[in-house]
């Protein structure tokens, strides 16, 4: 039997972690929609920080996408420009050039995004262009992918049921994914200083 004691404040928290499998070897890619939920704006709560409350919106976006028959979703900001995915940054490729929304588009300032920008410029000679992206530009993109700690590099093969490029994982996405895999799995000696050994 437990009694309610109003003078005592509960100060505990539970954090549950589930193992997430790597998608770096998947060949299917994912189908996304543009969510009806808008990205929180900077004058509501800072979207550029990793805060637990910010992830509630990602949950709403993900649930809607799955109920509507998609694997995931892309979120627009309050200016109707592309922001990011739920818990992941987004990059598109047009005419061989990788493009990503600016940090002022309501995105999380991601370590993975910053790392990929450096890797693409240095190793693939593909400098990342940071600029606003319209919703309709998603449909015209040759390739699109999410990136982040959990998502790693996850190619998107269709948006709102419009196939991107050939509707398969594109060549730039494939190169970026392979490069990222090699770096984070310790197969690229040049970037060993990015890694922290764990036992």
Structural domains present in the chain? 30-186 (3.20.10.10)
| pLDDT value of position 47 | 73
Q: pLDDT over 90 for what percent of the chain?
A: 69
Q: Is the pLDDT of residue 2 over 70?
A: no
Mean pLDDT, residues 123-132 = 97
Mean pLDDT, residues 132-151 = 96
Spatial CA neighbour of 138 closest among 80, 60, 178: 80
Mean pLDDT, residues 184-195 = 93
Better pLDDT: 180 or 47: 180
Question: Around Cβ 43, how many Cβ atoms within 10 Å?
Answer: 7
Cα distances (angstroms) measured from residue 12 to each of 9, 44, 56, 64, 152: 9, 27, 20, 31, 31
Q: Is the pLDDT of residue 8 over 80?
A: no
Spatial CA neighbour of 98 closest among 79, 78, 116, 72: 116
> Could you tell me which residues are beta bridge partners of residue 33?
73
The tens digit of pLDDT for each residue in 90-107 reads: 999 999 999 999 999 999
d(CA 40, CA 84): 11
Mean pLDDT, residues 179-188 = 94
| For helices 111-123 and 171-184, angle between their N-to-C axes, nearest 10 degrees | 110
Better pLDDT: 111 or 199: 111
Better pLDDT: 44 or 172: 172
Long-range Cβ contacts of 68-72 (<8 Å, 24+ apart): 68/33, 70/31, 70/32, 70/33, 71/30, 71/31, 71/32, 72/30, 72/31, 72/32, 72/146, 72/156
| pLDDT value of position 14 | 58
Q: Which residues contact 191 (CB under 8 A, 6 or more apart)?
A: 119, 183
Largest CA distance in the chain: 67
The tens digit of pLDDT for each residue in 11-41 reads: 565 566 666 667 777 789 999 999 999 988 7
| pLDDT value of position 193 | 93
């Amino acid at each position: 039997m437990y009694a309610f004691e109003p003078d005592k404040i509960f100060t505990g928290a539970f954090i549950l972690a589930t193992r997430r499998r790597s998608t770096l070897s998947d060949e299917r890619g994912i189908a996304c929609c543009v969510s009806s939920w808008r990205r929180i704006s900077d004058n509501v709560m800072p979207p550029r920080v990793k805060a637990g409350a910010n992830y509630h919106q990602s949950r709403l976006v993900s649930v809607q996408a799955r109920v509507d028959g998609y694997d995931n979703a892309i979120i627009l900001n309050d200016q109707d420009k592309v922001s990011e995915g739920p818990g992941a940054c987004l990059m598109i490729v047009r005419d061989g050039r990788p493009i990503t929304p600016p940090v002022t588009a309501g995105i999380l300032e991601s370590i993975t995004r910053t790392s990929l920008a450096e890797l693409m410029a240095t190793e693939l000679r593909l400098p990342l262009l940071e600029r606003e992206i319209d919703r309709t530009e998603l449909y015209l993109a040759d390739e699109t992918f999410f990136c982040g700690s959990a998502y790693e590099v996850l190619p998107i093969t269709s948006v709102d049921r419009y196939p991107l490029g050939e509707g398969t994982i594109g060549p730039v996405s494939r190169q970026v994914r392979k490069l990222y895999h090699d770096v984070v799995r310790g197969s690229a000696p040049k970037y060993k200083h990015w890694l922290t050994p764990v036992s």
